[in-house]
Amino acid sequence: MENSKRRFLKGTCALFAGATGASLLATVNASEGAKAESDIKYAMIHDETKCIGCRACEVACRETNQVPEGVSRVRIEQTGPFGEYPNEYYHFSRVSCQHCEDAPCVNVCPTGAAFIEKETGIVSVNAWKCVGCQYCIAACPYKIRFINPVTHAADKCDFCRETNLAQGKQPACVEACPTKALVFGNLKDPTSELVQVLRANPTQRAKVALGTRPKLFRILAKSGEVIL
Ligand code: SF4
Ligand code: SF4
Ligand code: SF4
């Protein structure tokens, strides 16, 4: 049933390609995203000052969301070493979906497979609607989408929308982090830990100049470089 739906969508996608249909559907998808109004808007903070690079988050994500080897929804990028022996240190930063409020991946998807969940603001993928055209992969300025080699659909972090969140738990990466470097919560709830941490710390988001309005915040570990 799923396969026949996808075959049907693949066919209709081919019809739309190159015609005004694709842009029409893309516009519909974008406006649906823009209509996403509710009391919940989920976001995440990676506090790089607390991150020890243990990668427990990567492992937990893979196990919880059955992400196959060779691809990943979240990875920790290591840079360094900095400083002089014996005081060398590394920086660790999270690479994953930014859950953009104006998401290029959603705007270009011709089938509606890429979407923003209006109740939560989570950017997600309906695998059965995905025809594997990879427009979203090309459009994502953060280069974090991939084709899942098992489902053959576009894939990425969805804050464990269908796994841990559906069971009333925190995302797997947050639960697994031994240093509490990851904070997940509702941007619209002023009492949430997420908002408290955002209020108490200077944060940074990637490529904000693009107007994507990302919802992955970083508390930077990097200090300014001093060259004498
Ligand atoms: S980071 Fe990429 S995949 Fe995630 S919402 Fe933004 S454009 Fe889409
Ligand atoms: S590959 Fe991306 S753009 Fe193409 S149908 Fe799947 S989710 Fe949509
Ligand atoms: S689990 Fe926490 S401390 Fe370990 S790499 Fe991930 S974010 Fe950093």
> Which is the closest atom of ligand 2 to the Cα of 145?
2
Identify the pLDDT of residue 10.
52
> Which is the closest atom of ligand 1 to the Cα of 123?
5
Identify the pLDDT of residue 223.
62
d(CA 83, CA 57): 26
CB of 156 shorter than 6 A to ligand 1: yes
Residue 78 CB partners (closer than 8 Å, separation 6+): 53, 90, 91, 92
d(CA 47, CA 99): 17
CA of 127 to the centre of ligand 3 (A): 28
Q: Which of 94, 98, 115 to mutate to test the pocket of ligand 1 (most atoms within 8 A of CB)?
A: 98
3-class SS at 2? helix
Whose CA is closest to atom 8 on ligand 1?
105
What is the pLDDT tens value at each position of the chain, 228 positions in all? 445 545 545 554 444 343 333 443 344 444 444 454 799 999 999 999 999 999 999 999 999 999 999 999 999 999 999 888 888 889 999 999 999 999 999 999 999 999 999 999 999 999 999 999 999 999 999 999 999 999 999 999 999 999 999 999 999 999 999 999 999 999 999 999 999 999 999 999 999 999 999 999 999 987 655 555
The answer to whether 131 touches 45, Cβ cutoff 8 Å, is no
Whose CA is closest to atom 4 on ligand 1?
97
Q: Which of 99, 146, 205 to mutate to test the pocket of ligand 1 (most atoms within 8 A of CB)?
A: 99
Structure tokens at 191: 């009492």
Task: Quickly list DSSP for 56-77.
Answer: HHHHHHHHHHTPPTT--SEEEE
Identify the pLDDT of residue 158.
98
**Which residue's structure tokens are 């084709």?**
147
d(CA 179, CA 54): 10
In 35-185, which ranges are continuous DSSP H helix?
Answer: 56-65, 104-108, 135-139, 172-176
Identify the pLDDT of residue 221.
87
Residue 170 CB partners (closer than 8 Å, separation 6+): 160, 164, 184
State in Å, rounded, how far the first CA of the chain is from the last one.
67
The answer to whether 217 touches 45, Cβ cutoff 8 Å, is yes
CB of 103 shorter than 6 A to ligand 1: yes
E strand residue ranges, 49-169 = 74-82, 89-96, 114-116, 123-125, 146-147, 154-155
d(CA 115, CA 99): 10
Ligand 3 binding pocket (C-beta < 6 A) is: 51-57, 76, 92, 176-177, 179, 181-182
Identify the pLDDT of residue 87.
87
Identify the pLDDT of residue 161.
98
Identify the pLDDT of residue 21.
38
| Among the bound ligands, the one closest to the CA of 121 | 1
Which phi and psi angles does 173 have, rounded to 5°?
Answer: -65, -40
CA of 56 to the centre of ligand 3 (A): 6
CA of 106 to the centre of ligand 3 (A): 28
Identify the pLDDT of residue 27.
42
Identify the pLDDT of residue 206.
97
Domains of the chain from N-terminus onward:
2-219 (3.30.70.20)
CA count, 13 A, side-chain hemisphere, 45: 26
Whose CA is closest to atom 4 on ligand 3?
54
